[in-house]
């Protein structure tokens, strides 16, 4: 009985996926060169081999991307230097001479201010921080356009613009040139995508903070519980769609419009939710290590993420998106082309067949 129920569930899931995939927008990828054969060893090996073989170039791309991540880095530095507690007092207009109690915990007291009031001021600081991060995410879209372009070419195995090395005479990829070519060609859609996610991210987090505000004020009301629910849904839905959408800006440039790319990203998210969330954890998980309450560890992890973080995240996104494109979108596209060509051949055969004229015989008198 249990096996029959499992088989029924699997069939229903398969039907659901098939319906979703049937609604995909199918077009060829925006490749500049002929598609290479399958990579031996699978996707994970491709990721690590690509990273290992191009580490210097990827570090250059990462450094260039960090130029556009400066607003987010500035927010992190300001919060690290001043602390949320002091920023809360500054926001309240209480000056810098206020005694700080329980610093780094988020609870402070000042003359005549209750603990709950102090916490609510700091909650306002968190609101401003996440709103500022949302703006920073939009600006990061410029850098992502260049980095994702380089990652896509590496995953596809396409050639780069090169220059002769004076010492060795070898052809060296001009990564800086390629990076800014990517920025030039893809910044519009990429910034729209990043700005959209920045809005959803800031909005979702602030809805959750609204719930926290209610709890700290003595008890959350129905509206604040609803805000918590909606905030979580926004973050859980927007993040995987964003994850699946970003690489398509480059890989389907001009072959699909942004609305069609968004539709495909939603379909990928609904059809393959578990693999998508696993990849998100791999891509963004290292950033969570920054929360470790140790200055030395935080500095070391911060330096490592600054040197490699963007590359690690964007390369995972690109590799996963190419896996989906190769095994789903392009496979369906090739099947569609095969079916169309078969129908065209049938139609051509029908046209080529000349109708047989009936011979009329005269009756003998």
pLDDT tens per residue, the chain (365 residues)?
Answer: 445 555 554 555 577 788 888 888 989 998 888 887 777 778 888 888 888 888 888 989 999 999 999 998 888 888 877 777 777 777 666 655 554 444 444 444 445 556 666 677 778 888 899 999 999 999 999 999 999 999 999 999 888 877 766 666 666 678 889 999 999 999 999 999 999 999 999 999 999 999 988 888 777 788 889 999 999 999 999 999 999 999 999 999 989 999 999 999 999 999 999 999 999 999 988 777 766 666 676 667 767 777 777 898 999 999 999 999 988 888 888 888 888 778 777 777 776 665 555 555 555 55
* Residue corresponding to tokens 């690489």: 247
Rg for the chain, CA atoms, rounded: 28
Question: CA-CA distance, 163 to 174, in Å (whole number)?
Answer: 7
- Burial of residue 264 (CB within 10 Å: 0-12, 13-18, 19+) is buried
Q: Are 188 and 205 in contact (CB under 8 A)?
A: no
Question: CA-CA distance, 317 to 232, in Å (whole number)?
Answer: 22
Q: Cα 52 vs. chain centroid, distance in angstroms? A: 22
Neighbours of 78 (CB within 10 A): 13
Q: End-to-end CA distance of the chain: give it in Å, rounded.
A: 83
């Amino acid at each position: 009985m249990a096996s029959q129920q499992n088989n029924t569930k699997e069939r229903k899931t398969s039907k659901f996926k098939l319906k979703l995939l049937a609604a995909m927008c199918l077009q060829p990828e925006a490749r500049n060169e002929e598609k290479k054969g399958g990579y031996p060893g699978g996707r994970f090996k491709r990721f690590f081999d690509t990273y290992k073989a191009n580490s210097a170039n990827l570090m250059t791309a990462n450094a260039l991307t960090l130029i556009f991540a400066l607003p987010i880095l500035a927010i992190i530095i300001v919060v690290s230097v001043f602390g949320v507690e002091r920023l809360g007092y500054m926001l309240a207009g209480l000056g810098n001479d206020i005694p700080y109690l329980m610093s780094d915990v988020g609870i402070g007291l000042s003359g005549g201010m209750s603990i709950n009031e102090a916490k609510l001021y700091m909650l306002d600081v968190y609101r401003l921080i996440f709103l500022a991060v949302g703006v920073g995410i939009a600006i990061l879209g410029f850098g992502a356009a260049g980095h994702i372009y380089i990652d896509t070419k590496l995953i596809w195995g396409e050639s780069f613009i090169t220059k002769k090395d004076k010492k060795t005479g070898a052809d060296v990829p001009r990564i800086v040139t390629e990076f800014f070519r990517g920025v030039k060609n893809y910044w519009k859609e990429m910034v729209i995508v990043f700005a959209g996610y920045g809005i959803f991210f800031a909005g979702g987090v602030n809805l959750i903070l609204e719930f926290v505000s209610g709890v700290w004020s003595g008890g959350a009301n129905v509206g604040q519980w609803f805000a918590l629910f909606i905030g979580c849904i926004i973050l859980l839905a927007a993040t995987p769609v964003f994850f699946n959408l970003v690489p398509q800006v480059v890989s389907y440039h001009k072959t699909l419009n942004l609305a069609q790319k968004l539709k495909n990203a939603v379909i990928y998210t609904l059809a393959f939710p578990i693999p998508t969330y696993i990849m998100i954890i791999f891509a963004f998980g290292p950033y969570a290590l920054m929360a470790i309450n140790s200055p030395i560890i935080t500095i070391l992890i911060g330096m490592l993420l600054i040197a490699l973080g963007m590359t690690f995240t964007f390369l995972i996104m690109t590799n996963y998106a190419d896996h989906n494109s190769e095994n789903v979108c392009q496979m369906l596209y090739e099947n569609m082309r095969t079916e169309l060509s078969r129908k065209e051949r049938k139609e051509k055969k029908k046209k080529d067949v000349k109708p047989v004229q009936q011979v009329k015989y005269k009756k003998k008198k």
